[in-house]
Structure 1
Amino acid sequence: MHKLAAGAAAASCLLLCSCAATVTLPVVDLATSETAATPESSSIGLVLPQADTSIPVWLAYAALQATPENAFFLPGTVQLNVENILQNPELPNGCEITSAAIVLNYLGFDIDKVTLAENYLPIRIPYWEADPEVEFMGSPADELSFYCLPGAITTAVNTYLDKQGSTYSALDITGAEPVRLEMYLAQGTPVLVWATRAFTEPLYNYTFTLADGSWPYSNSHCLVLTGYDEDNYYFADPMQEITEIDRDTFALRYEELGNHAVVITQ
């Protein structure tokens, strides 16, 4: 049986899956089609973020017919030709800003990781006083530093892009479910994602706490999601530790690290 699913609340779309592909379209008010004839033998499951209910197949078809110009088919396999950049030796803790450089270069910008780190990334020293959402905890060139989260990266990238007079901008899409990441990939947009090094279990540093009282991660890692297929997700990894991981492991680590993600789009 086919499924009609909302990929993520923020995506405001419906997904119609079949063996070969998935179609996505904006959510519409299906209640307006109450009087349509209803086949008795078929139904499509509507999977919402907080519930799992069913609607008749004719309602799904009504939604498709209501906005055919906005329908988007999600391929079963996507692999973008993204060239990797290694963070070492210059930036031993610079996975986030190196990942940003990877995506910017994929989009045609001529910017190296060190210039991006030194001239655009907000940093805070000492690292234990930093807010990782706002600034990098220490310096990415320092082996004893920590990490940053999407807020610091979007600040760095958007400052750079503004200076170039570009129409591109970095967007924090934290909270996006994996299916929404796939939608970006299918449109040719690689995604910066936060997980752990080599997708191992999260580890923590217990020598200090962040402003919110939590322990900082000691193996946080940012890398670029470049593709997917039925079994795996694929990456450009600044640490060159991994190029692919099974879908379940990615989803687990991605969620454990807060579903943090950034895209650079027009």
Structure 2
Amino acid sequence: MVKIDVPYISQKGKYPTGCESVSTVMLLQFLGYDISVDTFIENYLECRKFEMRDGQIYGADPNEHFCGSPYSEDDFGCYAPVIKKALEKAIGESYDIIDETGKPMEWLLRNYIDKGMPVIFWACIDMREPVTGPEWKLLDGGGVFTWISNEHCMLLVGYDADGYYFNDPYEGHGVIHYPKALVENRHRAQYEMAVGVIKKN
């Protein structure tokens, strides 16, 4: 078994859709940065509000911006490229920030967890079934975006023979263990997104 001891932060209450930011700040605090979730959101996370135009909802591409606000329970989230960009602004002078989307779990474990480095990791809330929708028109044109609901971001901190350990910010779960096959299935449902950081020489 490998399990990295990482400071825990809950998203409950103040950050209902802020799982990506909370998970990232847990990593930053683990690395020794004195930073709050609010500071990360306000200074580094690029957010974009939804707009109503002619009865249609328009929103951001979650690969480019956080869709709405992490403080709003009615808004959504963001994908790995947005967190990569925010981390590059926050700690890019000291760390290489790597979008590890699509890499197998063995890669994440070997290159990060086994070396004592947590990984920002996308799956589903409480490992629930993914749900297709809702949809919105993209603010910058280019058609309609379909969200995969129950999207959730956690910090992967370890593993054993049966599953994986996460600092899960949802509802104050703390460190939680989820079964291996279930995690891998829900990770695939959210495009196998992950972000890693490696100390520069």
CA contact (8 A) 2:48 2:68 kept: yes
- Aligned partners of 1:129, 1:190: CA distance in 2, in Å? 31
Structure 2: gaps spanning 5 or more residues: 52-57
Q: Check whether the contact 1:172–1:261 (CA below 8 A) recurs between aligned residues.
A: yes
Cα deviation for residue 99 of structure 1 reads 0.6
1:32-47 alignment to 2 at 5 Å?
A: none
Identity of aligned residues (%): 34
Q: Is contact 1:90–1:114 with CA below 8 Å preserved after alignment?
A: no
Q: For 1:95-110, what aligned pairs fall within 5 Å after superposition? A: 95-110=19-34
Structure 1 equivalent of residue 64 of structure 2:
134
* Residues in 1 aligned to 2:77 and 2:115: alpha-carbon distance in whole angstroms: 29
Select the structure that is richer in strand: 2
Report if the CA contact (8 A) 2:87-2:97 is conserved. Answer: yes
How many matched pairs? 187
Give 2:86's match in structure 1, choosing from 139, 153, 156: 156
Q: Which has the larger radius of gyration?
A: 1
Q: Give the C-alpha shift of residue 212 in structure 1.
A: 6.1
Unaligned runs of 5+ in 1: 1-76
Q: Which residue is 2:149 aligned to?
A: 218
Query: 1:204, 1:217 within 8 Å by CA — same for their partners in 2?
Result: yes
Deviations 1:175-218 (A, max 9, x none): 11010111110011101110000111002333535656452122
The whole-number CA distance in structure 2 between the counterparts of 1:169 and 1:102 is 17
Q: Distance in 1 between matches of 2:134 and 2:5?
A: 39
Q: What is the match of residue 11 of structure 2?
A: 87
- One-letter amino acid of the structure 1 residue matched with residue 153 of structure 2: C
SS at match of 2:164: strand
> What is the DSSP-based 3-state SS (H/G/I as helix, E as strand, rest coil) of the residue aligned with 2:97?
strand
Distance in 1 of aligned mates of 2:65 and 2:119? 20
**Which 4+ runs in 1 deviate beyond 6 A?**
none
Aligned mates of 1:227, 1:237 — CA distance in 2: 12
Asked if the contact 2:59–2:136 (Cα under 8 Å) also holds between the matched residues in 1, the reply is no
The answer for the alignment partner of 2:96 in structure 1 is 169
SS in 1 for 2:153: strand
Secondary structure at the counterpart of residue 147 of structure 1: coil
CA distance in 2, matches of 1:179, 1:255: 14
Could you tell me which of 1, 14, 35 is aligned with 1:111? 35
Counterpart of 1:36? none
RMSD (Å) for aligned C-alpha atoms:
1.7
